[in-house]
């Protein structure tokens, strides 16, 4: 069961809307949040080491949010490329079709549900720091 043309069109439009939304959020974060919060906290006189560390933490948090958005933007662009080359909706691990319901909920999905579950179980502890 491959995706019907109308389903691909619906998902492509959903990807486009999400992409525009993310770009707007990144623009807003860069223009307002990061600089303004940091300036307000470290701009206090006399400067306090605690305030400066909170300001640094807020700046780092904002950068992490932006980084997460950029990663999602890359996933969207990759999904759009898969639409163009005809591989959209096909699991990259097993080659079976990805259910339309899964793609509707998560349009950048690269794996079918069973392969994604297997991947999450296999690599669950990878990347987690330990002391």
Q: What is the spatial distance between Cα 122 and Cα 36, in angstroms, rounded to a whole number?
A: 42
Task: Write the pLDDT tens digit of every residue in 93-115.
Answer: 999 999 999 999 999 999 999 99
pLDDT of residue 97: 95
Mean pLDDT value across the chain: 82
Mean pLDDT calculated for residue range 27-41: 63
Mean pLDDT calculated for residue range 10-20: 96
Domain ranges for the chain, please list them: 5-90
What global pTM score does this model have? 0.72
Mean pLDDT calculated for residue range 21-37: 74
38-76 b/e (C-beta count within 10 Å ≥ 16 → b) = beebbeeeeeeeeeeeebeebbeebeeebeebeebeebb
């Amino acid at each position: 069961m491959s995706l019907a043309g109308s389903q691909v069109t619906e998902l492509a439009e959903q990807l486009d809307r999400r992409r525009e939304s993310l770009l707007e959020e990144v623009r807003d974060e860069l223009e307002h949040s990061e600089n303004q919060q940091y300036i307000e906290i470290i701009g206090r006189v006399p400067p306090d080491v605690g305030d400066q560390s909170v300001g640094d933490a807020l700046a780092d948090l904002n950068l992490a949010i932006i980084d997460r958005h950029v990663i999602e933007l890359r996933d969207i662009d990759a999904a759009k490329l898969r639409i163009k080359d005809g591989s959209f909706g096909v699991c990259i691990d097993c080659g079976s079709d990805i259910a339309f319901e899964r793609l509707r909920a998560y349009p950048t999905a690269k794996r079918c549900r069973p392969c994604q579950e297997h991947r999450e179980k296999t690599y669950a502890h990878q990347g987690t720091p330990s002391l």
